[in-house]
Amino acid sequence: MTAHDERTQAPDVDRLARSMLQLTGHDDDDHHAGSADGTGGSAWSKAPDFAADPERAAAVRESSRRDRERYLTAGLVPVDCRFCHATVAVKKLGPEHTAVQWNSTATQRCAVFAEIRASGGDSSRSRACPKLSDSIRHAVAEGCLEEVSSAPPPGDG
């Protein structure tokens, strides 16, 4: 094998990882010391499951639920379309950027999308509903929706 062939071959990742662990003072057995279920098997998890502490496990689950809910809904305001009364969740991120979360009920209720489907088109390929866009502008003008959301970004907190 030539020197060029040695440089172009993929490294032995397992050997490299073991040498890095040894370099930092970790034994390979430490990496697989416990399992997610606490049985000491070979499974590995990024975070403990707190199976031995049900109270803490419940607190972690509740905190995770709140984080997930905040991430999915931070700053979103329900806006009702003035034309077909489909309700979507909206957050204005700037003058030209609006986040709209459609749900299946609103998608089915939207008159513009229904017209697209009736003509054989796919409403999911539409960028937006112009009637809803008018309703969002109206919600901003009426003060029901902030022109730029003051809600903190989901990852801040």
10-residue averages of pLDDT along the chain (157 residues): 53 74 63 46 67 90 86 88 95 88 93 93 86 95 92 65
Residues contacting residue 88 through CB under 8 Å, at least 6 positions apart: 78, 79, 81, 100, 101, 102, 103, 106, 132
Q: Which residues contact 64 (CB under 8 A, 6 or more apart)?
A: none
Contact 98, 92 (CB under 8 A): yes
Is-above-0.85 flag for pTM? no
**Contact in structure between 92 and 140 (CB atoms under 8 Å):** yes
Determine phi and psi for 78, rounding to 5 degrees.
-70, 130
- Six-digit token string for 28: 């390979």
**In angstroms, rounded to a whole number, what is the distance separating the alpha carbons of residues 57 and 50?**
5
Report helix, strand or coil for 28: helix
Structure tokens at 43: 């499974």
pLDDT at residue 55, rounded to an integer: 94
